[in-house]
Structure 1
Amino acid sequence: MKKIFTTEAPEAIGPYSQGVIVNNLFYSSGQIPLTPEGTMIGEGIEEQTHQVFANIKAVLEEAGSSLEDVVKTTVYIKDMNQFSSINDIYGEYFSEHQPARSCVEVARLPKDALVEMEVIALVR
């Protein structure tokens, strides 16, 4: 198992890594809308979702992967009423390549984020 770390995404806020590679698969930890410096970005779902994607892209790149290599995503959202907004932004990043996905509403996310996402991707 190889741990992944990049300064282009926020450090883990607990005893875990940004992601790991096992047998040519990258498993990310959940990414919330923190800047690489660790500051929560914005109060709106749109801005927070774009930051989550920036973080996901950074850890994927460090792992030698990309959004085009993602096979599965899990999206956690604070309010299912924001599903359409999140889905529209999600479609900007996954337009032609559409990995499998789960999306669930949760009672609360770390640092009171509105959205969190994790991915599983191929490493080439």
Structure 2
Amino acid sequence: MKALVIDDSRTMRRIVGALLEPLGFEVHQAGDGQEALDLLDDGLEVDLACIDWNMPVMDGLEFVTRVRSNPDRRQITLMMVTTESETGQIVRALAAGAHEYLIKPFTPDSIRDKLELLGLVGSEELV
């Protein structure tokens, strides 16, 4: 399976990627929503996108909206991974089409739990 980690922090992209790789994901990275869309437009196919909210050029909510508006990309599982913790922000992201919402800082167990809930990893991989 392939994942796209979208965050303007290189460190955060590395952290999330390091947690996804042992779970069987081939990880690709983008520094903002527009860069991520460009990768998808260039033919990158992913099963999962982990998306920060606050980024330059194109934020995470706009990325979610754009992905959901394209019928060819509706199969991508979208998970917000962000510091935005207000209920209104969470509701907006889920209403726009995000499948899950994970608030930073998070633990390795919490990201694995979300992926298990989404059916992207099995419980046997969480041991």
Task: Report the TM-score range of the alignment, normalised by the length of the smaller protein.
Answer: 0.3 to 0.5
TM-score (norm 2): 0.35
Could you say which structure has the higher strand fraction?
1
Q: Which has the higher relative contact order, 1 or 2, with Cα contacts under 8 A spaced 6 or more apart?
A: 1
TM-score (norm 1): 0.35
Could you say which structure has the higher helix fraction?
2
